[in-house]
Amino acid sequence: MKTQRFALTPGEPAGIGPDLCLLLASQRQPHPLIAITSRDLLLERAAQLGVAVSLLSVSPDNWPDQPAPAGSLFVWDTPLTARVTAGTLDKANAAFVLHTLTRAAMGCLEGDFAGMITAPVHKGVINESGIPFSGHTEFLADLTRTEQVVMMLATRGLRVALVTTHLPLRQVADAITPERITRVTRILHADLQHKFGIAQPRILVCGLNPHAGEGGHLGHEEIDIIEPTLERLRREGIDLRGPLPADTLFTPKYLEHCDAVLAMYHDQGLPVLKYKGFGAAVNITLGLPIIRTSVDHGTALDLAGSGNVDTGSLQVALETAYQMAETRI
């Protein structure tokens, strides 16, 4: 059986990503896990944290075929552009951050890695460097030449995918189109099958308006757009229920009979998921030709180098990537 290696990108070097990688190394992983980052950065942060870790250098010329021992971490050295001070952003390292992501994604495409796990980046400082950047998801879509991707967050007992992601609320209604709902639903359905091994996924769909429009009294998007689109998708064999009022959909009555929820916008679905599983949730990019999972939190600059961080979300992101690689069809 082919060794399944995984790539880990620590994200913003001044944030808690490097800390998480070092703390994670205390436990042996079930698969070879390659941190794509600066060896010097990890050494300096380990000294700051007082963490004893052995950094094992690897590269495409000598990929490991066994997991690293507990207390050690495989590192594909990727040099920084400027020295890092924990907690202090420096736009000089923006290109470094994107280089680590590119190495990881290309390694997945070329078969070196079975999937990639990402710690948080800081979008603002990358843009301040002069590089247009709207997020991991969009960057990886462009890199892999993927036309449409879907953001899904998951925690134990709940998966939530989004029709729209980072849009101002004023723009959301105009973005809820039959074409977008169709693309997102097909991707969600296909990846639940092919990357999660669910033969017949059951998907609950939120309405856009309060009470799912209440028969047209609180909006017509459900009647004019959402329901007709869902009916067409049902005829393709996709198991969909809705549109349902979001304020009652997230209850055991409904959730115990579904594999995922499709929310119309970011703050409709994600507050519920993060309340249920913050610190133990994972961000998954659907639609890519590769497996990509991520933590559900930000760079936490104020905690970098403090030792006061929780690896829970990163561990869930790793476990999810491992499971997806095992069940992938």
- Known binding-site residues equal 136-137, 166, 211, 266, 274, 283, 292
Same domain, yes or no, for 57 and 102? Answer: yes
The answer to whether 46 and 146 have CB atoms below 8 angstroms apart is no
Measured distance CA(67)–CA(294) in Å, rounded: 20
Instruction: Write the single-letter amino acid at 86.
Output: A
Question: What predicted TM-score, i.e. pTM, was given to this entire model?
Answer: 0.90
Measured distance CA(2)–CA(211) in Å, rounded: 50
The answer to whether 297 and 306 have CB atoms below 8 angstroms apart is no
Bridge partners of 153, per DSSP, are 160, 283
Strands 292-295 and 115-118, bridge-based pairing: parallel
Domain span at residue 237 reads: 150-274
Same domain, yes or no, for 140 and 250? Answer: no
Same domain, yes or no, for 88 and 172? Answer: no
The answer to the question of residue 283 being in a domain is no
What pLDDT tens digit does each residue of the chain (329 aa) get? 577 999 999 999 999 999 999 999 998 999 999 999 999 999 999 999 999 999 999 999 999 999 999 999 999 999 999 999 999 999 999 999 999 999 999 999 999 999 999 999 999 999 999 999 988 988 999 999 999 999 999 998 899 999 998 889 999 999 999 999 999 999 999 999 999 999 999 999 999 999 999 999 999 999 999 999 999 999 999 999 999 999 999 999 999 989 999 999 999 999 999 999 887 899 999 999 999 999 988 999 999 999 999 898 999 999 999 999 998 86
Closest among 186, 159, 174 to 287, alpha carbons compared:
186
Q: Indicate the number of domains in the chain.
A: 2
- Known binding-site residues for substrate equal 136-137, 274, 283, 292
* Per-residue tokens: 164: 């729209």
Q: How many helices (H) and strands (E) does the chain have?
A: 13, 12
Q: Which helix (H) or strand (E) holds 273?
A: helix 266-277
The answer to the question of residue 122 being in a domain is yes
- For tokens 């659907």, name the residue: 286
Same domain, yes or no, for 160 and 261? Answer: yes
- Known binding-site residues for a divalent metal cation equal 166, 211, 266
**Any idea what the CATH number is for the domain that residue 92 is in?**
3.40.718.10
The answer to whether 207 and 242 have CB atoms below 8 angstroms apart is yes
Measured distance CA(120)–CA(294) in Å, rounded: 8
Same domain, yes or no, for 44 and 142? Answer: yes
